[in-house]
């Protein structure tokens, strides 16, 4: 179930529509206290501003703290993590949601998204990779990496973040 489509200009305002206007998963997760396995911070790496807004709103609505990053931008299309430095956004993240089509992939220069995937993995971060059929790299899911379609549903995204959080804390639901 998706409360609004990626590409919509305005997400629904829960304060004006009441909790029944929200997807059941959002209401259940955000009001259940979430316990100790709730993610504190999700790093959302997405070059498309509208997708970043929608996915970020979903995650915030589910009780996550969001750090957003457009990924490498021009003119060089690199970022600190790809130049041997430590990315402060990645350092503070409990989970990373990474679109595997970033501006650097479209420009075909600088740091490709798959390089950021390996960077986050070397930091030990659980990664949720958003992929499309035309992406040159399709990671295999494992204990650290989950793979979702580029335009996931609300339920798919929130369930993936929950699984990633449970893996890092060693809890099960």
Supply the pLDDT for residue 95: 96
Supply the pLDDT for residue 89: 93
DSSP, collapsed to helix, strand or coil, labels residue 158 as helix
Measure the CA dihedral 127/98/87/107, to 10°: 150
CATH of 35-169, one of 3.30.379.10, 3.30.70.20, 3.40.50.970, 3.40.50.2300: 3.40.50.2300
Supply the pLDDT for residue 170: 57
Q: Which among 161, 164, 151, 158 has a CA at the least distance from the CA of 22?
A: 158
Strand partners, 137: none
Supply the pLDDT for residue 46: 97
Which residue ranges make up each domain of the chain?
35-169
Report the chain (173 residues): mean pLDDT per 10 consecutive residues: 40 41 41 49 96 96 94 92 86 96 94 95 96 92 95 95 78 46
């Amino acid at each position: 179930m998706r409360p609004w489509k990626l590409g919509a200009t305005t997400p629904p305002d829960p304060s004006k529509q009441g909790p029944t206007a929200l997807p059941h998963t959002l209401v259940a997760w955000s009001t259940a206290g979430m316990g100790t396995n709730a993610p504190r911070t999700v790093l959302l790496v997405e070059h498309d501003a509208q997708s970043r807004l929608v996915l970020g709103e979903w995650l915030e609505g589910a009780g996550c703290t969001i750090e957003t990053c457009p990924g490498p931008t021009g003119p060089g299309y690199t970022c600190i993590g790809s130049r041997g430095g430590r990315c402060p956004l990645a350092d503070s993240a409990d989970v990373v949601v990474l679109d595997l089509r970033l501006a650097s992939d479209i420009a075909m220069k600088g740091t490709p998204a798959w390089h950021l995937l390996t960077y986050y993995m070397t930091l030990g971060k659980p990664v949720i990779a958003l992929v499309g059929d035309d992406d040159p790299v399709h990671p295999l899911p494992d204990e650290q990496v989950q793979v979702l379609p580029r335009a996931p549903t609300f339920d798919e995204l929130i369930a993936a973040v929950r699984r990633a959080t449970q893996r890092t804390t060693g809890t099960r639901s």
